[in-house]
A and B are shown apart, each in its own frame.
Chain A
Amino acid sequence: MNAPEETVQTPATSAAIEMRGVSVGAMSDPGKIVVEGIDWTAGLGEFWAVAGLRGAGKTEFLMMTAGLSAPVKGTYRLFGAEMPMYEESRLAERLRLGLVFDDGHLFNLRTVFENVALPLRYHRNLSDVEAEPEVMRLLELTELAPWADSTPGAMPLSWRKRVALARAIILRPSVLLIDNALGGLDARDARWWLGLLDDLARGKGPLGEAPVSVIVTSNDLRVWEGHAGHFAALSEGRFTVLGSWEELRAVQHELVRELLPGRPPSQTATAI
């Protein structure tokens, strides 16, 4: 059960995530396809913002990417290894991927410290005392130290999201998936998140010098200007790579206008 301590050999490919012809099923009904035909490659250290309106399948897409559900069709590889992977022998590979749920999905009967410490303790077989230095360092970095002994029920949403982030990165993943990253956050919290995600993608964050691939979902693309380097959209069951911010601005489509509120409506809508 010391899987995360093992050295994982990264294949020669520079792609962290590679999807070919992938279709995503609904969480409640895997037979019902929500998004199909995904051809997408995300490299190590890339910062992607995947946008879509409510019900576009962002959460299903992210859950499938996290390996919580299998693709209905197509192939999905994480660092060259086929996903999903649940064999004990491949646990170390699987744990290179961290996931932050929309509302945190924290363990409500555990304190903040216990929530963050659990993956570290379970996979490295550590006691509370042995895990404390690493956990407290992360709690300090995420400004959660004063909440260490609180349970999630006593915390506002913005702090719960930080706990979920700390829990997801304590095992130092190479790919970080965040569902609705800035949903429900005020301007100060949003700035803090953007700064941290920038640092993670550049390899300057709390996880050390290794760059982390960051993939966030959102329903508003404006906030990601200057942060995310790559954009994609989910709409009407299709996944479309939009490119960089400049390329995104050049796209004349109703969906992009909706995802960039405040932008003047296009005169001639074109397909994306």
Chain B
Amino acid sequence: MRSAACGKRHCYQRVGTYTQPEPNHKPKVNYCKIPFDPSEVKSYVRHVHVVRTNPGAHPWTQTLLRLPLPVSFTNFVGRKLFLFLVTIQGLGAFALITLGVMLKKFGAAPKVVRPLVLRETSRAGVKLLPVFLFLAAALGLVIIGQTVSWLNKFQLINYLGTIMVTVVVRELGPLIAAVQVLARIGTANVVELGTARATGEVEALEALGIDPVHYLVVPRVVGMMLGTFCLTVYLILGAVGSGYLWAFIQNVPLRPGDYFRQLIDALNGFDFALLALKTISFGFIISIVTCYHGLAQPLRLDEVSNATVRAVGQCVIGCVLLDAIFIVAYLAVS
């Protein structure tokens, strides 16, 4: 195996069943090109450039990655845990940088940035509406189709609206919307930004004095937050409507007025607040993770596909964990 950093063949000695690096050989640490602002001046991004937005460049990480495969399961778990923490660190730093730029450059170059925000909102919202209406109809069918027969058996048809609220409004609606936005827009984000990074577009922005985070990341973050929220609302409305339609087709003795009264009774103000917060948080997580994997680390074109896979996995984990936190919060409050 040849080191990408120093070009020397790694000199491993056979020791037992695994290899160890020679003690005298010190591979050079390859500090990758700094993503945004490579200056040595004091700025809000410099401190996170070398290590935090690019945790793979940290000497410890490099050393860890060069180590031979672990011989025990605990070593394997430890290694994975370490890399997980490094990723969390990088994502956290990137999120903070993005928030900092959003605040610091709020209102800067509005005639350039606002059309970008509108475009991203349209891409992550309006253009996904047809597929979301289809999903809403399918979701109503699945839930009503499965629950009506059971509720009829136990004479609990009056709980149909409550079930719709619990399942669609609080849980499935936001999660399905987030997964759809991730699949349709999040992956495109990684590919676009990763390609831009690999082909030098980010350096071109820097050379033109344009902050890449302000120009490339902020519109995507705002657009995906708004888009995810709006699509979730449409998905819920569509699912609730189609739910009654399927119930009507199945001859459920439930008048529209009664159905919607059940829905209203099951909902409270906290549901609306939590729904807005949850969907906006999902949009934030998806946009930050996908932008981070596309932009914050130096990429070659052949690495873009792997970065996309990593981003999708981390987005799903992030959204599910956040969902769990919201469930706990809801249970605690209610």
A residues engaging B (CB < 8 A)? 1, 3, 27-32, 63, 66-70, 84-87, 91, 94-95, 99, 101, 103, 105-109, 118-119, 121-123, 125-127, 130, 167-168, 171
Task: Show 27 residue pairs from A and B whose CB-CB distance is below 8 angstroms, ordered by the A residue.
Answer: A28-B32, A29-B5, A29-B28, A29-B30, A30-B38, A31-B28, A31-B31, A66-B207, A67-B39, A67-B207, A84-B39, A84-B40, A85-B41, A86-B43, A87-B41, A91-B209, A94-B209, A101-B204, A105-B204, A107-B196, A107-B204, A108-B195, A122-B208, A122-B215, A123-B109, A123-B209, A125-B112
Give the distance in Å from the alpha carbon of A167 to the alpha carbon of B208 in the complex: 9
Question: Which residues on B sit within 8 Å (CB–CB) of A168?
Answer: 207
* Residue-wise interface mask of B (194-218) relative to A, using a CB-CB cutoff of 8 A (1 in contact, 0 not): 0110011101101111100001000
Contact B199 A122 (CB under 8 A): no
Q: Give B159 Cβ to nearest chain A Cβ, in Å.
A: 50
Chain B hits for A107, CB < 8 A? 196, 201, 204
Give the chain A neighbours of B206 by CB distance below 8 A. 68
A172 to chain B, nearest CB (A): 13
Closest A-chain residue to B36, C-beta based?
A: A86
Smallest Cβ-Cβ distance to A72: which chain B residue? B40
Complex Cα gap A105–B199 (Å): 6
A-B contact count (CB 8 A): 92
Residues in A neighbouring B201, C-beta threshold 8 A: 105-108
Inter-chain pairs besides A108-B195, A118-B208, A119-B208, 12 sampled, C-beta below 8 Å: A29-B5, A30-B31, A31-B31, A32-B28, A67-B39, A67-B207, A84-B41, A87-B41, A107-B204, A121-B111, A122-B210, A168-B207
Size band of the interface chain B makes with A: 20 to 34
Asked if residues B209 and A95 are in contact (CB atoms below 8 Å), the reply is yes
A119 CA to B5 CA, complexed, in Å: 35
Within the assembled complex, what's the spacing in Å between the Cα atoms of A30 and B40? 12
Q: Is the CB of B112 within 8 A of A121?
A: yes
Contacts of A125 in B (CB 8 A): 109-112
Q: Is the CB of A86 within 8 A of B111?
A: no
A31 to B62, CA, bound (A): 16
Question: Is the CB of B108 closer than 8 A to any CB of chain A?
Answer: yes
- Complex Cα–Cα for A118 and B215 (A): 10
Question: Which chain A residues lie closer than 8 Å to B199 at the CB level?
Answer: 105, 108
Interchain nearest-CB distance for A189 vs B (Å) = 21
The answer, yes or no, to whether B171 is at the interface (CB within 8 Å) is no
Q: Taking CB as reference atom, which chain B residue is nearest A115?
A: B204
The one of B30, B203, B209, B210 that contacts A105, using a Cβ cutoff of 8 Å: B203
Q: Which residues of the partner chain A approach B207 to less than 8 Å between Cβ atoms? A: 66-68, 99, 101, 168
How far apart sit A166 and B195, CA to CA, in the bound complex (Å)? 23
> CA A127 – CA B43 in complex, angstroms?
30
* Residue numbers in A under 8 Å from B271 (CB-CB): none
Q: Give A201 to B43 CA distance when docked, in angstroms.
A: 35
Q: Which residues of B93-115 have CB atoms within 8 Å of chain A's CB atoms?
A: 108-112
Q: Most chain-A CB neighbours within 10 Å: which of B5, B39, B199, B204? A: B204
State in angstroms the CA–CA spacing of A1 and B109 once bound together: 6
